[in-house]
Amino acid sequence: MSARLFHYTQKVMFKHCDPAGIVFYPRYFEMMNDVVESFFAECLGLPFERLLVTAGVPTVQTEAQFHAPSRHGDMLDISLGVMRLGRTSASFELRARAGEEARFTARSTLVHVDAAGRPAPWDGPLRERFLPYIGEQDDP
């Protein structure tokens, strides 16, 4: 996976659950986006509210495997590692656990785009901040 992992703690709230009291699976995708957004802010120094003024990072691919249900009140530790950094894209792996039990594994690819929505290279300083988290890097 990656050299360093970013960890995010998510308490499963009532809003995440279906009437059976387990996480409704689309809510996991919202949690995944929260982790990515927090990673950009805390590790890369680029909060989405600043990034989205002149660029964007739309998700172009996501796949997930759900291992066990999460219930209202569970505390999830969601780790994020950067699997690959390309010229204009980044691929992440996210793993959620509650204690020792795996809850989901997901892989997601984002593309850095300019204000017109066209793929744009990661700038030098931002690319440098990715480095401790990268498992694999394409040539710049």
Domain ranges within the chain, ordered by starting residue:
6-128
List beta partners, residue 22: 71
| pTM, to two decimals | 0.91
**Residue 2 clears pLDDT 80, i.e. is over it:** no
Q: Out of 2.10.77.10, 3.20.20.70, 3.10.129.10, 1.10.10.10, which CATH number does the structure's domain 6-128 have?
A: 3.10.129.10
* Radius of gyration (C-alpha) of the chain in whole angstroms: 15
pLDDT, mean of residues 80-93: 96
**Residue 21 clears pLDDT 50, i.e. is over it:** yes
Q: Which residue has the tokens 């795996």?
A: 102
**Residue 14 clears pLDDT 90, i.e. is over it:** yes
Model pLDDT for residues 33-55, shown as the tens digit of each residue: 999 999 999 999 999 999 888 89
**Residue 99 clears pLDDT 80, i.e. is over it:** yes
